[in-house]
Amino acid sequence: MKNKGTQRRDFIKLSALGLGAVFSVGPFTKGYSYLLNDTKYELPPLPYATSALEPYIDEQTMQIHHDRHHAGYVKNLNSAVESDGLSAISLDELLRGVSKYSNAIRNNGGGHYNHSLFWKLMTPAGGGDPSGPIADAIDASFGSFEKFQELFNNAAKTRFGSGWAWLVSNNGKLEVGSTPNQDNPLMDVSDLKGFPLIGIDVWEHAYYLKYQNKRGDYIDSWWRVINWNEVNKRLALGK
Ligand code: MN
């Protein structure tokens, strides 16, 4: 149970970040407050049915990925935080200072953040070319959407073993790269640093049931469900 002091502290943290408007509107309210500030780590519900991304991402993969893999990261993160005697640290803060914590917190905290982000970056109404501020930012940083996509796909295909490919923002300057395992560009231990705008899971569990060893086909399909609205929201958050 949180006492009043803790609640007030959280409120002040929210206000200090200037994100009140984002938290108060729209169906993404829980997701944003959750990713950035909640000190309680819980499995967020998928924002659509498990079959909604068919035929690009199959239903069984979504079920196992969300209900077992992501649930496992959340469970193990809570266990690690409890056994290490940590409390009231937001997920965002945990990741930014992850060098101070155990490998269990690095792996499961990263897994929890990355997957919470990943579900929201997909939508059955997604795909196509970007629009809005992200389209301009991509053009400014990479020359064209096609050039950016080529770099991103290459990062995703060449990440050896398990990991993630990313588009990150550093004060509006965009960069593409990848991280191993469940590392995240917010982590102080990460070579690639920045606020994650797009992240694609290239662990085999994300695609193997439908695509087997053809990671490239999975990546091509994934672009058909990308949620550009969500990417624009993240661009506005991640200065
Ligand atoms: Mn995964």
pLDDT at 24: 33
Centroid of ligand 1 to alpha carbon of 205 (angstroms): 6
Which stretches in the chain have pLDDT values below 50? 1-34
pLDDT at 237: 85
The residue type at 4: K
Centroid of ligand 1 to alpha carbon of 73 (angstroms): 10
pLDDT at 154: 98
The Cα 21–Cα 192 span in angstroms is 29
Centroid of ligand 1 to alpha carbon of 12 (angstroms): 33
pLDDT at 30: 39
C-alpha closest to that of 184 among 120, 81, 107: 107
